[in-house]
């Protein structure tokens, strides 16, 4: 996987808090970018962004929950840490149900926030690594010819070479050749591994 430049995106309407968070993160050696509103972040958003979002749950205009919803609609995988005030815990629980990774209540200890950010950045890296691996599997599947794809589907379904040959009205030797090419192109020697690979990307293939 290529090196990913992770950034902590701070979305906070209070300028003093925003500046304080920027200073804290820079002093901890983390690249940071701040936004004064959810709308400003959404305008700048790209699916190429990597890192995590530190997001105030209550803001004028579009609030943090609304921004989370819009990011979910865009299939964003950026982990979100919500910053909440007193009495916002029920909102934060709802946000967690919608996929936020964590929340922290004001006033908070800086060390506690940094720990949550570290965990969110690790989750982001892990997710991107997994996604890269899945994209590679999809690339390999796409390299198969229609006949090889058909053979692979039957292999995964547990059909023996003899059965495949009869049903496709080809020789067993031809099935063996196609089977060998499938394994070579998919980069595996194990049928069990092939099954796991294809099942791991089934949701992505079905969504296309």
Per residue in 66-106, pLDDT tens?
A: 999 999 999 899 999 999 886 787 888 888 888 899 999 98
Domain of 149: which CATH number?
1.10.10.10
Count of the separate structural domains present in the chain: 2
What are the start-end ranges of the E strands in the chain? 7-11, 32-35, 51-56, 80-84, 102-105
What is the domain extent for residue 119? Answer: 7-128
pLDDT value at 34 more than 90 = yes
pTM of the model: 0.74
121 in any annotated domain: yes
Q: Hey, how many other C-beta atoms are within 10 angstroms of the C-beta on 49?
A: 19
101 in any annotated domain: yes
Q: Which of 37, 33, 31 is nearest to 12 (CA)?
A: 37
Residues 111 and 149 in one domain: no
Residues 175 and 94 in one domain: no
62 in any annotated domain: yes
Residues 23 and 106 in one domain: yes
Residues 115 and 151 in one domain: no
109 in any annotated domain: yes
Alpha-carbon distance of 28 to 162, in angstroms, equals 63
31 in any annotated domain: yes
């Amino acid at each position: 996987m290529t090196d990913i430049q992770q950034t902590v995106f701070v979305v906070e309407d209070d300028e003093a808090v925003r500046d304080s968070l920027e200073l804290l993160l820079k002093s901890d050696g983390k690249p940071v970018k701040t936004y004064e509103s959810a709308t400003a972040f959404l305008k700048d958003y790209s699916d190429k962004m990597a890192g995590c979002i530190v997001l105030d749950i209550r803001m004028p205009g579009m609030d943090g929950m609304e921004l989370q919803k819009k990011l979910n609609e865009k299939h964003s995988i950026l982990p979100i840490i919500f910053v909440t005030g007193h009495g916002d815990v029920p909102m934060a629980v709802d946000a967690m149900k919608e996929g936020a990774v964590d929340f922290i209540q004001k006033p908070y200890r800086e060390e506690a926030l940094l720990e949550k950010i570290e965990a969110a950045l690790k989750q982001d890296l892990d997710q991107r690594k997994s996604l890269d691996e899945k994209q590679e599997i999809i690339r390999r599947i796409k390299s198969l010819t229609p006949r090889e794809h058909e053979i692979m589907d039957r292999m995964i379904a547990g059909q023996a070479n003899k059965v495949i040959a009869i049903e496709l009205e080809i020789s067993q030797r031809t099935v063996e050749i196609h089977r060998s090419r499938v394994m070579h192109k998919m980069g595996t020697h194990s049928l069990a591994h092939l099954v796991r690979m294809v099942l791991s990307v089934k949701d992505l293939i079905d969504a296309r």
